[in-house]
């Protein structure tokens, strides 16, 4: 399945008359076969390593605004779902005694909610996940420290 981003880069490469080995060299690959595989995969599927898209954009003269616009077009539906507002809540990691717990309405800042989740994790002695949106989650260890911050990105489940 091709994407707007992959198609645009392929079109630009072909307009400039560049072969896959040439663009792989321009992108800095010493292992040309590996570069060709990654560039072909990008052009065909849209999947690309972040550092490669930057190198290819530079080599092909594609500006950052165009890359961002095409990336958004390819992931518009994902962004709509993942940025949908939800009421902040917490979820315990353990199945027994787990479940969803709402954040008190009087807590309005991110800092207040984080402090509340950290204290709750300490009090219940369990890992707790503070969910701000489908996209952003912060895990607190049972000692109340931040264990992990997860920001979902398109293409990663």
pLDDT digits (tens, 9 = 90+) for 27-63: 999 999 999 999 999 999 888 888 899 999 999 999 9
CATH code assigned to 4-82: 1.10.260
pLDDT at 93 over 70: no
Burial of 89 (0-12, 13-18, 19+ CB in 10 A): middle
DSSP 88: -
| pLDDT reported for residue 126 | 87
Residue 122 CB-density burial (10 A; 0-12 exposed, 13-18 middle, 19+ buried): middle
Residue range(s) occupied by CATH 1.10.260 in the chain: 4-82
b/e code 96-110 from CB counts within 10 Å (16+ = b): eeeeeeebeeeeeee
The pLDDT assigned to 83 comes to 78
**24 vs 156, residue with greater confidence:** 24
Nearest to 62 by CA among 76, 48, 75, 78: 48
pTM: 0.66
Note the pLDDT tens digit of each residue in 68-84. Answer: 999 899 888 888 888 78
Residue 139 tokens read as: 């895990």
């Amino acid at each position: 399945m091709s994407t707007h981003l992959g198609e645009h880069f392929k079109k630009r490469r072909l307009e400039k008359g560049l072969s896959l080995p040439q663009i792989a060299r321009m992108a800095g690959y010493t292992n040309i076969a590996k570069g060709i595989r990654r560039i072909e995969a990008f052009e065909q599927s849209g999947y690309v390593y972040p550092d490669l898209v930057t190198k290819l954009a530079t080599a092909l003269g594609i500006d950052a605004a165009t890359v961002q616009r095409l990336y958004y077009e390819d992931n518009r539906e994902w962004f709509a779902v993942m940025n949908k507002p939800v009421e902040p809540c917490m979820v315990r990691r353990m199945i027994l005694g787990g479940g969803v717990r709402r954040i008190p309405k009087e807590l309005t800042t991110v800092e207040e909610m984080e402090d509340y989740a950290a204290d709750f994790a300490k009090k219940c002695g369990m890992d707790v996940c503070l969910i701000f949106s489908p996209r952003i989650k912060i895990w607190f260890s049972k000692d109340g420290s931040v264990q992990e911050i997860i920001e979902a990105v398109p293409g990663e489940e």
